[in-house]
Amino acid sequence: MHFLIIDDDFLARSGVVRTLETLSPGATVREAETLQDAFHMLEQAPAVDLVFLDLNLHHTQGIDTLVQFRGWCEARDMEPRTVVLSGAADNNLQLLNDVLANHGTGFIIKGTKAKVFESALTITIEGGIYIPEEFLKIGGKDPAPPKETLNLTPREKEVAALLIQGRTYKGIASELQKRHKQSVSDKTVRTHVGNIAWKLGVTASAKAGVMAEIARRGLKFD
């Protein structure tokens, strides 16, 4: 796998690097202190599977950091999974919703206990979504309900699988068109996400709520 860590805190970066090298031996791990450094690296070597992004860098702060990074990638037809590394002062429910709504695929709090941090990275590397348990009550539900897909159709499972990769509605529509050789619109994808939300019992913002519910249930999609 190819990882990219974007964080201006050397010690924080080093901790992520060490854990990734332990969990994924042989992986390529690159480090950047700023978005501009990251953009330069990706221009030189665009292959990246998973990005760990601190929202508060030297020249960018908060959700705008994720928006800028995703915008740069999407303009170049790149859609790496992007997991936010959040400092303790950033940890609020609105920020989590903003991250998920802007195609983030996880939310890991810095400074968590080593075992929790390792578990978070393991879930992320395996293609799942990690959200701290204290944030998993977005819909007012208790955490960890049964691990079931609630009769999602094959197409809904496809959409869900692409959604947790951090794909935009446009990106999901494009991928479905390639796979099935038929026209698929952004509106159709939004309808599928709405149906998934209904089947999962999500009443919050459809995309963010679905992502959180998938994390809560520990769902995986082949």
**DSSP at 187:** H
pTM attached to this predicted model:
0.77
More confidently predicted of 205 and 50: 50
Kindly state whether residues 101 and 205 are assigned to the same domain. no
- In whole angstroms, give the CA distance from residue 47 to residue 161: 20
Per the structure, the count of domains in the chain is: 2
Q: Which residues contact 34 (CB under 8 A, 6 or more apart)?
A: 6, 8, 57, 58, 59
**DSSP at 49:** S
Does residue 148 sit within a domain?
no
- In whole angstroms, give the CA distance from residue 144 to residue 219: 11
Task: State residue 139's pLDDT score.
Answer: 46
Q: Which residues contact 76 (CB under 8 A, 6 or more apart)?
A: 42, 46
* pLDDT score of 138 more than 90: no
**DSSP at 107:** E
Q: What is the pLDDT of residues 149-184, one digit of tens each?
A: 568 888 998 999 898 888 888 999 999 999 998 888
Tokens of 220: 């995986």
Does residue 145 sit within a domain?
no
Kindly state whether residues 78 and 187 are assigned to the same domain. no
Q: What is the pLDDT of residues 73-117, one digit of tens each?
A: 999 989 899 999 988 667 788 888 889 888 888 898 887 888 888
- Strand order of the β-sheet with 2-6 is 28-32, 2-6, 50-54, 81-86, 107-109
Q: Which residues contact 52 (CB under 8 A, 6 or more apart)?
A: 3, 4, 5, 6, 7, 16, 83, 85, 108
Tell which of 106, 135, 164 closes a domain: 135
- In whole angstroms, give the CA distance from residue 167 to residue 145: 26
* pLDDT score of 29 more than 90: yes
202: domain CATH number?
Answer: 1.10.10.10
119: domain CATH number?
Answer: 3.40.50.2300
Q: Tell me the residue range of the domain where 196 lies.
A: 154-217
- In whole angstroms, give the CA distance from residue 174 to residue 168: 10
Does residue 111 sit within a domain?
yes
Tokens of 144: 């960890």
